[in-house]
Amino acid sequence: MIRFLLKGLLRDRSRSLFPILTVTAGVMATSLGHSWFNGALGGMITTTANFQTGYVKVMSRAYAELSDEMPNDLALVEVEALLDELENAYPEWQFTPRIHFGGLLDIPDEHGETRSQAPTMGFAVDLLNPDAGELKRLKINESIVRGRAPQQPNEILVADELARKLEVEPGQVATIISSTMNGSMAFFNFTVSGTVNFGILALDRGSIIADIRGARRALDMEDAAGEIVGFMPGDNYRDETAQALADDFNARYSYTEDQFSPTMVTLADQNGNRWILDMVGAMGSILVTIFIIVMSLVLWNSGLMGSLRRYGEIGVRLAIGESHGQIYRAMLLESVLIGIMGSIIGTAIGVSLGLWIQSHGIDIGSMMKESSIMMDNVIRTKVTTTTWYIGFIPGLLATFIGTAFAGIGIYRRQTASLFKELEV
């Protein structure tokens, strides 16, 4: 039976071509859309984690309440002891301290007088310890435009756009004017070791990156840090794992009556990331639902037109003794075969396009010139195991549902009127 129906579909292209093209287009859009949202929103989460939030973040309770203001006077102290406790309690995780600070970047002339200056946002990470993983995590070496990565605590990297505006070259001295942990003014001379371009406009407009040892000296924060970020094994953030860790840590170390006791928050609970994570999780279901509805309507109309065109064929089949149910089931089986063929073709095209964009990327930097979102300028898709089969759900369901509604007309055919119809 299946072989007979398949031959009929292949030989009568007017019966199968339009439905197969419709399914192919829908399945291709579903597969490509799934990989696009995985890559775009997933890449945003990864970039945010690497540069801002970590998968989990430890701060003092007071700092956490004002974290957007980077209040280093409320920073964690005795950080090395806390790091030892974290590494002993959760050995599978990697923890590293960071400091965020703001201020002025002052470039002196040959006489030591201010030649140019600009406001800047700085963050200090453990650049000199290869075990910390920050060089790889922040892609420092790949992002350097001029010069090299810092090799001494008193060396910094400056965003290339900012460096060109201030006309500062690698090897020159730059002065950071900020405030210390104790609230006094901080003036500290750094050497610009290089310039960087991360491809993230929020960072590339005016940021500096320092080693945490040099920043501690400049800001009077010895054995202190604004935050400790933690990263789980693997490349994907898992909210359940991070939340379990945060709950366990807070039960051990965090005390509500002590505003300087440490508290741990997950990536999802920072910067409104919960909404983005929920969107990533729901996007597959949303795409499938939309395309099932749209394709079902299209294929329903296609089925109605096909039924009108096949009006005589259905009449003959009834006249020779086929029951209404047999014809209806045969049409449903045809729809399944069409769905399978269209889904295979659509998935192949969608996944191929997804793999190409995953490899080459699409530069959207021109669209984000005024954006402050922590997002890479080059968008890439991410093809996962789900991408290979998610298109089959709307591909099969839509054809089946569309044919099921259109085929109801079969039961309205009256056998008594067949000879009059055939005479016509």
Q: Does residue 214 contact residue 154 with C-beta atoms inside 8 Å?
A: yes
* pLDDT for the residue 372: 46
Backbone angles phi and psi of 65, in degrees to 5: -70, -25
Look at residues 210, 112, 115 and name the one whose alpha carbon lies nearest to residue 165.
115
| Per-residue b or e along 395-411, where b marks 16 or more CB atoms closer than 10 Å to that residue's CB | bbbbbbbbbbebbeebe
pLDDT digits (tens, 9 = 90+) for 152-189: 999 999 999 899 999 899 999 999 999 988 888 889 99
Domain ranges for the chain, please list them: 2-47+275-423, 56-231
- What is the rounded average pLDDT for all residues in the chain? 81
The CA-based diameter of the chain, rounded to the nearest angstrom, is: 108
pLDDT digits (tens, 9 = 90+) for 104-133: 999 988 887 888 889 999 889 999 988 888
44 Cβ contact partners less than 8 Å away, ≥ 6 residues apart: 276, 373, 374, 375, 376
pLDDT digits (tens, 9 = 90+) for 257-280: 888 899 999 988 887 777 777 776
Q: Does residue 48 contact residue 271 with C-beta atoms inside 8 Å?
A: yes
Look at residues 266, 269, 273, 262 and name the one whose alpha carbon lies nearest to residue 63.
262
- The residues facing 101 across adjacent strands are 122
Residue 311: which pLDDT band, with cuts at 50, 70 and 90?
low
Percent of the chain whose predicted confidence (pLDDT) is above 90: 30
Using the 8-state DSSP alphabet, how is residue 148 labeled? -
**pTM for this predicted structure:** 0.71
